[in-house]
Chain A
Amino acid sequence: MTPVMPSDFDPRNSEPEDFVSPGLPVDQANTTGRLPVGDPEQIPDPAEVEVPADLREQIQAIVDKYPDRNHKGSPKSAAIPVLWIIQRRYGWCTPEGIVQAACVMQVTPAYLESVASFYDLLRTSPQGEHQVLVCTNIACWMRGGDELLDSFCEKTGADREAAGHGGALSEDGKILVSGFECLGACDLAPMASVDERYFGPLENADAGTIVDQLESGSEVLPEKALDKRGLAGGVADSTDERVTGGKGPNQ
Chain B
Amino acid sequence: MSIVETRVLLRHAEDPKMATLAGYESYGGYEVLKKALKEIEPEWIVNELEESGLRGRGGAGFSMGKKVSFLPHTDEAKYLCCNADESEPGAFKDRELMQRNPHQLIEGMIISSFAADIEHAFIFIRGEYDDQADILDRAVDEAYEAGYLGKNILGSGFALELTVHRGAGAYICGEETALLDALEGKRGNPRLKPPFPAVQGLYGGPTLINNVETLSNVSHIVANGADWFKSFGTEQSPGTKVVSVSGCVKRPGNYEVELGVSLRDLIYGLAGGPLDGREITAFYPGGSSSPVLTPAEMDLPYSFEAMAEAGSMLGSGSIIVADDSVSIPRMALRTAKFYRHESCGKCTPCREGTNWTEKMLQRVCSGEATPMDLDIISSVQDNIMGHCLCVLGDAMAMPVSSMVNKFRDSFEQTIAEEAAKAWSFGGLEAADGPVGDPAGRTSPGVPSGPPTGPSKSPGRDVQDGDEPGPGGVSPETLRRERLAGRSIPSGGGS
Interface residues of A, Cβ cutoff 8 Å to B: 65-68, 71, 75-81, 83-84, 114-115, 118-122, 133, 136-139, 141-144, 146-147, 181-187, 189, 193, 196-198, 226-227, 230-240, 242-243, 246-251
Contact = CB atoms under 8 A, between A and B. Distances in A.
A186 B220 contact: no
A122 B187 CA distance: 12
B395 to A, nearest CB: 13
A238 B5 CA distance: 7
B186 A243 contact: no
B28 A187 contact: no
A248 B224 contact: yes
Interface in B389-448: 439-440
A230 B184 contact: no
Interface residues of B, number: 97
Contact of A242 (B104, B186, B232): B232
B9 A250 contact: yes
Contacts of B163: 65-66
B254 A186 contact: no
Contact of B220 (A121, A227, A233, A246): A246
Given A186-B244, A246-B223, A119 B169 contact: yes
Nearest to A121: B169
Contacts of B252: 139, 186-187, 189, 232
Contacts of B342: 181
A60 B36 CA distance: 36
Given A186-B89, A196-B131, A250-B12, A76 B31 contact: no
B353 to A, nearest CB: 18
A243 B10 CA distance: 11
Interface of B: 4-14, 18, 24, 27-32, 77, 79, 86-92, 94-96, 99-101, 103-104, 107, 120, 126-131, 163, 165-171, 182-188, 203, 219-220, 222-224, 228, 231-232, 244-248, 251-256, 270-271, 284, 288, 318, 320, 322, 325-326, 331, 334-335, 338, 341-342, 344, 439-440
B186 A138 contact: no
A9 B270 CA distance: 74
B472 to A, nearest CB: 43
B167 A249 contact: no
A198 B96 CA distance: 13
A75 to B, nearest CB: 8
Contact of A80 (B77, B182, B248): B182
A146 B441 CA distance: 12
Given A119-B170, A184-B92, 6 more contacts: A142-B322, A143-B248, A182-B90, A186-B89, A187-B254, A250-B18
Contacts of B86: 184
